[in-house]
């Protein structure tokens, strides 16, 4: 705040990012599974997180790769203040206050620990088979609210950030929502299975 400089910017770096920015990205990638119940809080949030479509499902980062979860947009050299990163999975239905709280906590956690960031993947991840993804240690986001709730339960940092009361209440509310959803029979199921 005092210098009014963008601390994510480093003109000497290949991506024009500072070590602080790399640590922050590492935090997003390290904690994203635990954050997903907050970032994508509804059953329908996961309908768009499907391999091969626009929304990312692979836990990775890149410069100009739309299949990456974290993206480093290009900016003009004369506007170093616009150096930034994008986490591309939050759903519009998320609570922005909780979303920014968990994202900031994840980034700050790995900034403090100086967590090393994995290499960027500039190739189209949707074209990778399971074997190649495994060989590069590229994991995927949870594919349902149920999986995300379980990841939230196992993330110590998210528990600290949300606080004990909100953490327990949030899990209880989202678990009830998931259980309600499980009892629903959709039109697709009726059309698919009624004649069988």
What are the pLDDT digits (tens) for 137-164? Answer: 999 999 999 999 999 999 999 999 999 9
Evaluate if residue 26 carries a pLDDT over 80: yes
Task: Select the more confidently predicted residue: 125 or 4.
Answer: 125
Q: Quick one: pLDDT at residue 78?
A: 66
**CB contact at 8 A, 27 and 109:** yes
Least confident span in 23-37, 86-100, 122-136, 144-158 = 122-136
| Helices 164-182 and 19-39: angle between axes, nearest 10 degrees | 50
Mean pLDDT over residues 185-193, rounded?
Answer: 93
pTM of the model: 0.90
Q: pLDDT per residue over 99-121, tens digit each?
A: 999 999 999 999 999 999 999 99
| Average pLDDT in the chain | 91
Structural domains of the chain ordered from first start: 19-193 (3.30.590.10)
**CB contact at 8 A, 125 and 68:** yes
- H helices present in the chain, as ranges: 19-39, 96-113, 130-135, 145-153, 156-162, 164-182, 187-193
Q: pLDDT band for position 76 (50/70/90)?
A: low
Q: Quick one: pLDDT at residue 81?
A: 72
Task: Select the more confidently predicted residue: 55 or 167.
Answer: 167
Evaluate if residue 52 carries a pLDDT over 90: no
Estimate the share of the chain in helix, then strand, then coil, as percent rounded to the nearest 5: 50, 5, 40
Q: Quick one: pLDDT at residue 22?
A: 95
Least confident span in 15-19, 95-99, 165-169, 184-188 = 15-19
Q: Quick one: pLDDT at residue 180?
A: 97
């Amino acid at each position: 705040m005092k210098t009014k400089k963008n601390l994510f910017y480093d003109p000497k770096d290949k991506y024009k990012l500072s070590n602080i920015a790399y640590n922050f990205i590492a935090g997003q990638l390290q904690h994203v599974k635990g954050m997903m119940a907050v970032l994508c809080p509804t059953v329908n949030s996961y309908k768009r997180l499907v391999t091969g479509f626009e929304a990312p499902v692979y836990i990775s980062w890149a410069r100009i790769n739309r299949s990456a979860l974290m993206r480093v947009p290009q900016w003009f050299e004369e506007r170093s203040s616009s150096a930034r990163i994008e986490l591309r999975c939050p759903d519009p239905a998320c609570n922005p206050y909780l979303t920014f709280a968990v994202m900031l906590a994840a980034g700050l956690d790995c900034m403090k620990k100086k967590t090393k960031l994995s290499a960027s993947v500039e190739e189209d991840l949707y074209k990778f088979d399971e074997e190649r993804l495994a060989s590069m240690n590229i994991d995927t986001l949870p594919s349902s609210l149920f999986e995300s709730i379980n990841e939230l339960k196992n993330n110590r940092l998210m528990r600290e950030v949300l606080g004990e009361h909100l953490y327990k209440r949030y899990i209880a509310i989202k678990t009830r929502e998931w259980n309600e959803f499980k009892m629903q029979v959709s039109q697709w199921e009726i059309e698919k299975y009624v004649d069988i």
